[in-house]
Structure 1
Amino acid sequence: MTSSSTSAPANTTGPGGTTLVYGKGSGSQPGHTLRVYADLRCPFCKRVERGLGPVMEKLAEEGRVTLEYQFATFIDDGAGGTGSLCALSAVGAASDVGAATAQRYIRSLFASQPAEDDDAFADTGVLLRLAEEVEGLRGPDFDRKVTEGFYLPWAHRVSAAFESSGVTGTPTVLLDGRPVTVINPMGYAVTPEAFLAELNLD
């Protein structure tokens, strides 16, 4: 299997398929859009995923929002390495398996996120091992796409889309284009209650 510069994973949208999509809100009754900007090596993104990831996922599953992920890879430049890019490529392969599966894999990556100066995600063996924690993810097609970097061209496009988005850092969360507070002054995720209150979806 050879990668194509035009290939984009399933469950993506936007020019070049650079946005990962999850949820029922994109159906016949479009609702709110919750857009998450994150870098898979970003420790603050890990805190948001740990504290608010299940909340955002539940909102998407209930059809109250469409959850959109726009990933960045700037920590590769700042800390060195290619871990953000390689992990993002693997997320693309997971998205081909299914939108919900990709969500579980993103959670697995954040849960096992290495230290910011550790480029462990550049190791496909690490990415495959973490995929074992997601039921139904490992298989010949997924493994081959991860090992061969099938979605690396796509990951580069995603990174470029972030750089031109106007967003200057991660984590950033927008509800219908409006910034939502996800990190408190102490540098940790806000509580689910505070998050939901600010969303004010009712």
Structure 2
Amino acid sequence: MIPANTTGEGGTTVVYGADPEGPSPGAPVLDVYADLRCPYCKRMENALGATMRQLADDGDVVLHYHFATFLDETLGGHGSHRALNALGAAANRGQRHFMAYLRTLYLNQPHEHNDAFAEERMLLGLANDVEGLRDATFETQVLESAFHEWVERVGRAYDESGVAATPTVIFRDRPVAVLDRKGQAVRPEEFTAQIHATT
């Protein structure tokens, strides 16, 4: 199964905004590379996620999310894979559901050495925070890992992308700084200034 609201070969990229590969090309793509267990990705999302979404809602960019799962191998466990399966189920429901669940996952991200995202009951519990997401279909897709093969393809696509670390954000073939030298998120105005400088 491939979730709705995805693009690329095998649907390995999750889209938020008007898909430029669709019948009506839209805004330029902002590529976001992240791992759901990555604490630095959490800092990026918590500080800049709303700004990215607003840029997409305003039609300035289309967000393309590329998810890594390498932290499962690095740290042990299955949290990145199972959280991404649940996120795929949210994307299958709709772009707004995907984005709200993504934010919820990062807000409640366990310590990277704690594999709590591997527990379906946690993933289902967090889905209660997203209006209209949790129903019998979503629960089945989470409990049965309905998007397991898709998750594997997504992880391989990241591994083959040439991107060295998460988080990485790219706009018009140029890296966009989302963290400073101390590993803290840049301010939203600094982030948007980089986007507008390349438009």
Give the TM interval when normalised to the shorter protein.
Answer: over 0.9
Aligned to 1:4: none
Cα distance between partner residues in 2 of 1:21 and 1:176: 16
Matches within 5 A, 1:135-146: 135-146=131-142
Aligned to 2:13: 19
Is 1:8 matched up with 2:2?
yes
Matches within 5 A, 1:154-193: 154-193=150-189
Give 3-state SS (helix, strand or coil) of 1:166's partner.
coil
Is 1:58 matched up with 2:54?
yes
Q: Which runs of 5+ in 1 are unaligned?
A: 1-6
AA of the residue aligned to 2:16: Y
Cα distance between partner residues in 2 of 1:31 and 1:90: 28
Given the two structures, how large is their TM-score scaled by the length of structure 2? 0.96
Is 1:194 matched up with 2:168?
no
Cα distance between partner residues in 1 of 2:117 and 2:19: 32
Aligned to 2:88: 92
AA of the residue aligned to 1:24: A
Contact 2:18–2:25 at 8 Å: present in 1 too? no
Is 1:80 matched up with 2:99?
no
Give 3-state SS (helix, strand or coil) of 1:117's partner.
coil
Cα distance between partner residues in 2 of 1:177 and 1:135: 35
Cα distance between partner residues in 2 of 1:67 and 1:197: 17
Cα distance between partner residues in 2 of 1:154 and 1:132: 24
Aligned to 2:105: 109
Aligned residues: 196
Cα distance between partner residues in 1 of 2:31 and 2:25: 18
Cα distance between partner residues in 2 of 1:14 and 1:61: 22
Identity, in percent, stands at: 49
Once the two structures are superposed, residues 137-181 of structure 1 have per-residue CA deviations (whole angstroms, 9 ceiling, x without a partner) of 000100100000001111010000000000010000000221100
Cα distance between partner residues in 1 of 2:4 and 2:189: 32
Contact 1:25–1:65 at 8 Å: present in 2 too? no
Q: Which runs of 5+ in 2 are unaligned?
A: none
